Amino acid sequence: MEVNPVRSNQSKIDAEMSKTFRTSNGVNEIIHILKNPSKNDIELITRAFEFARQAHKDQKRFSNEPYFIHPFETAKTLSHLQLGAKMIAAGLLHDVYEDTGVTEKEIKKEFGEEIAFLIEGATKLGTLKYRGIERQIENLRKMFLAMAKDIRVVLIKLADRLHNMKTLQYVPKEKQIRIAKETLEIYAPLASRLGMGEIKGQLEDLAFPYVYPEKYKKVMEAIKGKYEEKEKKLSKVRHEIEKELKKNNIQPVKIDSRVKHIYSLFKKLQRPEVNMNINNVYDLIALRILVETVEECYKILGIIHTLWKPLPGRIKDYIAVSKPNGYQSIHTTIFATEGEITEIQIRTEKMHEEAEHGIAAHWAYTESGKPDEGGKFHPHLAWVNQLIEWQKSISQSKDFLETLRIDFFKDRVFCFTPKGDVIDLPEGATAIDFAYAVHTEIGNTAIGAMVNNKFVSLDSVLKNGDIVEIKTQKNKKPSMEWLGHTKTSFARKQIKSARRLLPD
């Protein structure tokens, strides 16, 4: 909890707080963000607002602002995510157990068991710090166990972290890099896995200049003037599309442009095919078309391709096959007006909401944020259960970190079985990883693979959208050499296990 140890004159703070946060003004700011809040919702948020404001009234942040600004901004983020009155109340109250003298018993009495539980979970996660690999791993284990218990706790923590990153310049220098690294390596990938694209992008961009200051400067230098230039060219493309859609009696909900996040751009510039050349990045600004139905998405794709030629291999249909985190959209890259290469994204309003806010938008797990009675999450969160199971069998901290970074937080590719089932793998995964992901026995007896109807070796690296069929041979056993060609810890574990159990 970021509280300035130096306390100012009480009356002066009260005056500031009164001026900055009158209860009615502050609550109204939150309420106006929500869609159709009930009287009970407004009453709960108002009580939580006033309770937290009083609890933090004699505290300040490193910026010398009233501390209450932080829980207020956390609650506003939760409001934008439309997570409901209980979550917003918990966001307002998430720091009251630390340094305020407020007890869990008081919160239970005033706000009930559920909100007390959410605050307790957020408080525990708030004590986690990125200090050395051993401590880091133990903290991560605690975080994922908290997720398995009730994922809403982690959503509060993401909202909390977002505001802390926005005010990181006021934190003592020695803490800045530690907090930024933790954000870049843990919180941003976590937001990504939860499908929360907007929060993930903001967290990465806020951490980037602290973790890689020189690289940040180079990227900012490379894009100088590029956005303005691209916007001018995009306006012509947009005009052409609007004219053509009108002819076809299609009324889009919205057409706007999406500016690529700075850290995402930095990662793209590092790809071999881009070779640090900003002119090879075609989606610096992408045109985004929002419509009401899936049918309209495909109609618009056809219209665009009659206007301009698409780049081969650059049409991605994430509606038919969504990304592992639930992302849905159609992407196409075209040779537009005057040969300008432009990316266009087409999706429904609902898909857009889910792309921006992920698991928070469609609230795909139960209303309580917990697994169902069978202990399972929605398919998009199945990896949480998988991670919990895997960490039980991983005793070494370094092994757990490796599993986390590669199996869960690395960029994903998804491939298909011949029957069309999607296999979700980390970038750089091979046919060996695919075989074990399908079934341990298929992995153990694999002799080769058919990728897109071509026979390849098992060490072949797979790409997004590959159709993979594993060829097996009875009584075959895996080779220890395979360990050098696997990306997933699951495949490595199974190979080692099979070699121990099977006779030479």
The per-residue pLDDT for 356 is 82
Q: Which residues contact 147 (CB under 8 A, 6 or more apart)?
A: 153, 154, 384
Q: Look at residue 300 and tell me whether its pLDDT is greater than 50.
A: yes
Catalytic residue among 29, 41, 65, 99: 99
Pick the CATH number of 10-171 from 1.20.120.530, 3.40.50.150, 3.30.70.1520, 1.10.3210.10: 1.10.3210.10
**Residue 347 DSSP SS3:** strand
Question: Which SS3 state, helix, strand or coil, does residue 376 take?
Answer: coil
So what's the pLDDT on residue 83?
85
Helix and strand totals (H; E) in the chain: 23, 11
The ranges assigned to domains in the chain are 10-171, 225-357, 410-501
Catalytic residue among 14, 98, 411, 441: 98
Task: Report, as an integer, the average pLDDT of 24-28.
Answer: 80
The question of whether 174 is a catalytic residue gets the answer: no
Query: Given phi > 0 = left and psi -120 to 50 = alpha, else beta, which region is 473?
Result: beta
Q: What is the pLDDT of residue 278?
A: 81
**Which DSSP string do the residues of 38-81 spell out, in sequence order?**
-HHHHHHHHHHHHHHHHHTTT-B-TTSSBTTHHHHHHHHHHHHT
What is the predicted pLDDT for the residue at 410?
A: 58
Residues 6+ apart with CB under 8 A from 434: 415, 423, 425, 449, 462, 468, 470
Tens of pLDDT, residues 328-375? 999 999 998 777 889 999 999 989 988 888 767 644 334 444 544 444
Pairing of strands 341-348, 422-426: unpaired
Cα 132–135–136 angle (5° rounding)? 75
Burial of residue 477, with CB atoms counted within 10 A of its CB: 0-12 exposed, 13-18 middle, 19 or more buried: middle
Instruction: Kindly tell me if the per-residue pLDDT of 130 is higher than 50.
Output: no
* C-alpha Rg value of the chain to the nearest Å: 25
pTM over 0.85: no
CATH number of 225-357: 3.30.460.10
Residue 4 in this model has a pLDDT that exceeds 70: no
pLDDT at 131: 45
Q: Which amino acid is at 41?
A: D
- What's the mean per-residue pLDDT of the chain? 81
DSSP string, 327-341: ---EEEEEE-GGG-E
**Are 198 and 356 a contacting pair, CB within 8 Å?**
yes
Assign residue 310 a region (left: φ > 0; alpha: ψ between -120 and 50; beta: otherwise): beta
Lowest mean pLDDT among 5-14, 109-118, 206-215, 421-430: 5-14
Q: pLDDT by residue (tens digit) across 60-82?
A: 888 888 899 999 999 999 999 88
Mean pLDDT of 163-185: 89
Q: Which fold has domain 410-501?
A: Ubiquitin-like (UB roll) (3.10.20)
Q: Which has the minimum average pLDDT: 30-34, 113-117, 371-375?
A: 371-375
Top-confidence range, 147-156, 332-341, 435-444: 435-444
Decide: 121 and 146 in contact? Cβ < 8 Å: yes
Is 193:383 a contact under the CB 8 Å cutoff? yes
Kindly report the number of other CB atoms within 10 A of residue 425's CB atom: 25
Considering only residues 126 and 279, tell me which one the structure prediction assigns the higher pLDDT: 279
Interacting residues of 195 by C-beta distance below 8 A, sequence separation 6+: 325, 326, 327, 354, 355, 357, 358, 359, 361, 380
The yes-or-no answer on residue 421 being catalytic is no
Sequence-distant (≥ 6) Cβ neighbours of residue 38 within 8 angstroms: 85
Which residues does 159 contact at the CB level (< 8 Å), separation at least 6? 74, 75, 77, 78, 81, 91, 199
Cα distances from 418 to residues 438, 449, 458, 471, 486, in angstroms, run 12, 12, 17, 12, 22
Amino acid at 265: L
Helix (H, G, I), strand (E, B) or coil at 256: strand
Question: How confident is the model at residue 417, as a pLDDT?
Answer: 86
Q: What is the DSSP string of 420-475?
A: --EEEEETT-BHHHHHHHH-HHHHHTEEEEEETTEEE-TTPBP-TT-BEEEEE-TT
Distance from C-alpha of 152 to C-alpha of 147, rounded to nearest angstrom: 8
Report the distance separating Cα 25 and Cα 31, nearest Å.
10
Displacement of CA 189 from its chain's centroid (Å)? 6
Residue 453 phi/psi, 5° resolution?
Answer: 70, 15
Strands 285-291 vs 341-348: parallel, antiparallel or unpaired? parallel
Which string of b and e fits 100-130 if b means at least 16 CB within 10 Å? bebeeeebbeebeebbbbbbbbbbebbebeb
pLDDT tens digit sequence for 454-474: 999 999 999 877 889 999 998
C-beta atoms surrounding 150 within 10 Å: 18
Give percent of the chain with pLDDT exceeding 90: 39
